[in-house]
Amino acid sequence: MREVLNQSEDRIKLWPAALYGALEQLTNAGFIVELSGSGHHPKGQSERKKYYRLSRTGRDALEEEVGRLERLTRTVRLKLHARPS
């Protein structure tokens, strides 16, 4: 949460219910996996915090999405440049 806020310079606010709703949907879809058990918790962090890991499917989906966005960007950029200024 903090990370997202910092990275987006407070422009992207993740509202709590939506955040965890999204996390649950991603878990159900198999894109991320919740790490359970204390062994998976980074040292010095609270036990009640939840940690998720990107799954193999999730990574594939993400890569595909990035690819799609890149293609989209490229197309749009080409259109922008092709425009007679």
List of residues contacting another protein (CB under 8 A): 1-2, 5, 10, 13-21, 23-25, 28, 48-50
Q: By three-state DSSP, how is residue 65 classified?
A: helix
Burial string for 12-46 (b: 16+ CB within 10 Å, else e) reads eeeeeeeeeeeeeebeeeebbbeeeeeeebeeeee
| 49 versus 81: smaller Cβ distance to another protein | 49
Query: Smallest distance, Å, CB 60 to another protein?
Result: 23
Q: How far apart are CA 81 and CA 7, in angstroms?
A: 30
Element (H, E) at 33: strand 32-35
Query: Smallest distance, Å, CB 35 to another protein?
Result: 13
Query: Smallest distance, Å, CB 40 to another protein?
Result: 15
| 3 versus 79: smaller Cβ distance to another protein | 3
| 34 versus 64: smaller Cβ distance to another protein | 34
